[in-house]
Amino acid sequence: MIKRKVLAGIGLGMTAALALSGCSGSPEAEGAVTLQMVESLTNPARTALLEELIAEFEAENADITVELVSPPTDQADQKIQQMLQAGSGVDVLEVRDLTVGPFSTNGWLDDMTEEFDGWAGWDDLTDNAKKVATATGETYFIPYGFYGISLFYRTDFVEQAGFDGPPEDWEELLEQAEAIQDPDANTFGYAFRGGKNGYTNAVLAISAYVADDIDVTNAYKLTNGDSIFSAPEAQDALEVYFSLFEKASPPSSVAWGYPEMVEGFTNGSTGFLLQDPEVIAAVQQSEAVSEEQWNTAPMLKGPSGKAIQPLATAGWGIAEASEHKEEAAKLIQFLSEGDASIAFTEGNSLIPILNGAADAEFYKTGAWESYLAMNENPDAYITAEQPRGAAWWTEWGEKADAEVQQVLIGQLTPEELLASWDAYWTEKWASE
Amino acid sequence: MSRQQTTLKERPSTRAGAPAAPRARRRQFTTRRGFVILAFMLPAAVFVGVFTYYPMIAGSQMAFRNWNLTNLTDTSWIGLGNFEKILADPSFGTILGNTVLWVVASIVPQFVIGFAIALWLRRRFRFRGLYQALIFFPWAISGFLIGILFRWMFNGEFGVINDVLKKLGLIETGIPWLAEPSSAMFAVIVANVWYGVTFFAIMILAALQSVPDELYEAGALDGASKARMLFQITIPTISTTLALTVLLRIIWIFNFPDIIWAMTGGGPANQTHIITTWMINITQRGDYGMASALGLLVVAILLIFSAFYLMALRGKKEVTA
């Protein structure tokens, strides 16, 4: 009997608790809004900085609270995809040039044109930032910065090998890297990227060799409409590029992805590394390479003295399913303006989105000088847009990576590789 | 007379001799009682239905549709289109071959070494508990973490394995383990063997505890050597456990992409992909339709294999009986 009473009591208690929790609704006060924000390219330092900026935003907007979700970088885009597909749990999200295409095609992103109509911050954005934000006529995201490539190099290795300065073009890179290479001493010329996204550097070399004829609105196309892989110069570019692997790189770099390349440079064993500016912070923390032993140089040019700079970007967008679009836009505007934007780009070693921000002292010293040099010489360092928003971009990356590795292990010739890439893109464009 | 026949003959006599009272106490089946039983079963049935069968069916139907996350505006039914894509892929043959190699080359050393460790741990000696804990420890580590550790150990320039081989004077220059298809496959299998030995050691040790000491004592009295006792007492006594453990492990290794994914990502040039790492690859590309089709294919392969394996096992038992 007692047992039954106890059980009945527990049952009633649980029912009451469930009923009350169901009736209580949101804990938010009247008019208060909680925004769910999810980032993609996460790292602890970046998340901490973002949280600081969010705290400033919350202090200015007492009725808005922001909950930041930071999934591990490798799974972040998949996580975001799942959240968007579920249609809830996300208001503001990090949109990348790689994800904007599929996300907007599926109707998951809000066209922010209305929310950003009359936004005072438009005038402060650089032309590049404005172009990206309004690329397709709609505004699916406001970029927070740009990732550009430069050549990280060991000043001491270059000097010891008898050269006056860093290489300016791909052939000079091969020459210097070959001179530096000394496997017995565990010293290698170039941190070759043969693993994940390894194809990107092969495309950089090809782009530099066809720079005179490249279509800057689609860096995979020539101005005559053919793919860049069909040009005879592409063959010359790959000859130099794959020689870098054969003559001046660690043999195991067939499998090197981002971590191994950066490790290869920061542990002092390789002389050259092509990477984004975010690596500057990693090299500065290196114990094996001191500040005087390294620097960056502008992108490598092709035979015509030009290089193509494919700017990669990401930014903040609003989920179509969000019920707080106005508040979400307010947050994005805050992050894209003034001190918050500058703090974010400097803190993450990004090329800024605000006019004049690149004139700051921060971008004029040390490793940033090369970016300044590239900015000041736009005729030689041409900014071009790669078709990264294409629905098949990930599929392409996998195919291209596998085929670069096939060349490295002798299963494919560079000619066959170029023919395959040309056929792939020609077919894709024809099916559009 | 076989053991089975004895059991069958004994059953009727037991039933006949059973007291009548329990049968009388058995309550009659009524509709009300049926509902009560159903009500008790319902939560479990709903749970399994919602969390097991619904996702399985929902996932399986993707295999017959054009389900690509890059464009969900057209998810039309395409019949066996995704299966055709898999079979037409030039990498499929290599990947299937790799999967067989991955399973066979991993399971044989895992079994042999695991068996040896289990035999060793069965003996009583000082600090046996500590040794057992140390040997079982790898099983508690995530496969991805093991993959990352081995990836750096096998690194051609900075890896500890090349360093040790150089110091021993066995090689002069570092071997690019993960850069060549054959050595990369070897490296991932070594990592998997290291990881899986523990599983066999645990399972076989548990099975060995069930072998009665009297059998060994009788064997010793008859003057049987240790090898003879192993092959004529130990192995026959635990053969069912061994067979089921091997089957279980084959299924697990077949479905175990963690180490390969972390060590090589299926490279170089797709040469270390097994079916499940390839499936991850396809999922990351957003082609859930093709990935689901591959998943169904894996289920079919494993079902057919398990059926043949169990049939062969039953056949062998009947012969020995």
pLDDT, tens digit, for every residue of B63-85?
Answer: 999 998 888 888 899 999 999 99
A269: domain CATH number? 3.40.190.10
User: What percent of chain B clears pLDDT 70, i.e. is strictly above it?
Assistant: 90
Domain shared by A90 and A119, yes or no: yes
With contacts defined as CB-CB under 8 Å, which chain B residues touch A409? 179-181, 268-269, 271
Return the pLDDT at A351. Answer: 85
pLDDT above 90: residue B128: no
Q: What own/partner pairs with CB < 8 Å and gap ≥ 24 does A286-294 have?
A: A289/A154, A289/A265, A291/A366, A292/A155, A292/A156, A293/A154, A293/A155, A293/A156, A293/A268, A294/A152, A294/A153, A294/A154, A294/A155, A294/A265, A294/A367
pLDDT of B42:
95
Which pLDDT belongs to residue B29?
77
A250 compared with A361, residue with greater pLDDT = A250
> Do the Cβ atoms of A102 and B285 come within 8 Å?
no
B158 has a chain A CB within 8 A of its CB: yes
Residue A231 lies in a domain: yes
Q: Sign (positive/negative) of CA torsion B147, B150, B155, B159? A: positive
Q: Considering the domain boundaries, does residue A210 fall inside one?
A: yes
DSSP string, A377-393: -TTTEEEE---TTSTTH
Residue A287 lies in a domain: yes
For the cut 90, the answer to whether the pLDDT of residue B242 exceeds it is yes
- Does residue A62 sit in the same domain as residue A130? yes
Q: With 90 as the cut, is the pLDDT of residue A8 above it?
A: no
Query: What's the rounded mean pLDDT across residues A255-266?
Result: 88
Confidence band of B23 (pLDDT split at 50, 70, 90): low
Residue A59 in any domain: the answer is yes
Alpha-carbon distance of A186 to A190, in angstroms, equals: 12
A316 plus A306 within the same structural domain: no
Whether B258 and chain A come into contact, CB under 8 Å, resolves to no
If asked whether residues A385 and A336 sit together in one domain, one would say no
Give A304-362 pLDDT, tens digit per residue: 999 998 878 999 999 999 999 999 999 999 999 999 999 999 888 888 899 988 788 88
Secondary structure of B125-187 in HEC code, one letter for each residue: CCCHHHHHHHHHHHHHCCHHHHHHHHHHHCCCCCCHHHHHHHHCCCCCCCCCCCCCHHHHHHH
Asked if A383 and A287 sit in the same domain, the reply is yes
Based on the domain organization, do A305 and A205 belong to the same domain? yes
In this complex, the residue of B72, B184, B281 whose CB is nearest that of residue A106 is B72
Q: Over 80: is that where the pLDDT of A20 sits?
A: no
Query: CB distance A398–B281 less than 8 Å?
Result: yes
A260 vs B: CB within 8 A: yes
Looking at CA atoms only, how far is residue A381 from chain B in angstroms? 32
**pLDDT at site A223:** 96
Confidence of residue B26 (pLDDT cuts 50, 70, 90): low
Distance CA A148, CA A151 (A): 10
| Average pLDDT for B236-241 | 92
- Residue A211 counted as domain residue: yes
Per-residue model confidence as pLDDT tens digits over B293-305? 999 999 999 999 9
Which residue in A184, A251, A395 is closest to B179 by CB distance?
A251
Q: Using one digit for the tens of pLDDT, what is the confidence trace for A80-127?
A: 988 998 888 899 999 998 889 889 989 999 999 999 999 999 999 998
The answer to whether residue A25 scores a pLDDT higher than 50 is: no
Least confident of A64-78, A176-190, A229-243, B240-254: A64-78
Q: Do A106 and B285 touch (CB under 8 A)?
A: no
Buried b (16+ CB within 10 A) or exposed e, A232-257: ebbebbbebbbbbbeebbbbbbbbbb
| Listed residue (A37, A117, A116) closest to A80, CA to CA | A37
Q: What is the pLDDT of residue A30?
A: 63
What's the half-sphere exposure (Cβ side, CA atoms, 13 Å) at B277?
27
The predicted pLDDT at position B5 comes to 41
By 3-state DSSP, what share of chain A in percent is helix, strand and coil, each rounded to 5?
A: 50, 15, 35
Complex ipTM tops 0.90: no
Residue A136: pLDDT above 80?
no
Tell if the CB–CB gap between B70 and A105 is shorter than 8 Å: yes
Asked if residue A202 and residue A55 are part of one domain, the reply reads: no
The CA distance from B265 to A255, in Å, is 9
Residue B318 is predicted with a pLDDT of 66
User: Which tens digit of pLDDT belongs to each residue from A59-72?
Assistant: 999 999 999 999 88
Considering the domain architecture, whether residues A197 and A79 belong to the same structural domain is answered as no
Look at the block and give the residue holding tokens 């060991």.
Answer: A154
Same structural domain, A141 and A155: no
Is residue A129 within 8 Å of A352, Cβ to Cβ? Answer: no
Question: If pLDDT is split at 50, 70 and 90, which confidence band does B9 have?
Answer: very low
The answer to whether A185 contacts chain B (CB < 8 Å) is no
The CA distance from B277 to B255, in Å, is 9
Is pLDDT above 60 for A140?
yes
Contact A183 B267 (CB under 8 A): no
Which residue in chain B is spatially nearest to A101 when comparing CA positions?
A: B70
Residue A271: partners with Cβ closer than 8 Å, 6 or more residues away:
A153, A154, A157, A158, A176, A177, A180, A187, A188, A189, A190
Pick the residue with more confidence: A390 or A299? A299
Is the same domain home to A386 and A401? Answer: yes
A213 lies in the same domain as A240: yes
pLDDT by residue (tens digit) across B154-204? 988 888 999 999 999 999 888 999 988 889 999 999 999 999 999 999 899
Q: How far is CA A173 from the centre of its chain?
A: 24
Q: Is the pLDDT at A405 greater than 60, yes or no?
A: yes
Per the domain annotation, does A7 fall within a domain?
no
Q: Is B89 on the interface with A (CB under 8 A)?
A: no
Poorest-confidence range of A26-35, A338-347, B5-14? B5-14
pTM of the model: 0.77
In whole angstroms, what is the distance from residue B203 CA to residue B245 CA?
Answer: 7
In the prediction, which pLDDT does A255 show?
Answer: 87
Structural domain range at position A349: 33-146+312-355
Q: Which of B174, B176, B286 sits opposite A254 (nearest CB)?
A: B176
Q: Is A98 helix (H, G, I), strand (E, B) or coil?
A: coil
Q: Is there a domain that residue A60 lies in?
A: yes
Of A186, A392, A405, the CB nearest to B268: A405
Q: What is the DSSP letter of A34?
A: E
* Predicted pLDDT of residue A29: 57
CB contact under 8 Å between B267 and A402, yes or no, is yes
- Half-sphere exposure at residue A49, Cβ-oriented, CA atoms within 13 angstroms: 18
Structural domains for chain B = 83-320 (1.10.3720.10)
pLDDT above 70 (res B11):
no
Q: Number of structural domains, chain A?
A: 2
Which residues face A296 on adjacent strands?
A: A152
Q: Which of B73, B179, B271 sits opposite A105 (nearest CB)?
A: B73
Return d(Cα B130, Cα B289) in angstroms, integer: 48
pLDDT at B321 over 60: no
Contact A149, A155 (CB under 8 A): no
In a domain, A15, yes or no: no
Residue range B273-282, pLDDT digits in tens:
999 999 998 9
Domain co-membership, A250 together with A238: yes
Would you call B157 an interface residue with chain A, using a CB distance cutoff of 8 Å? yes
Min Cα distance B108 → chain A (Å) is 28
Lowest mean pLDDT, pick from A169-173, B96-100, B132-136, B271-275: B132-136
Closest residue in A to B163 (Cα) is A186
Mean pLDDT of chain A: 89
Q: Contacts of residue B286 in chain A, CB cutoff 8 Å?
A: 102, 394
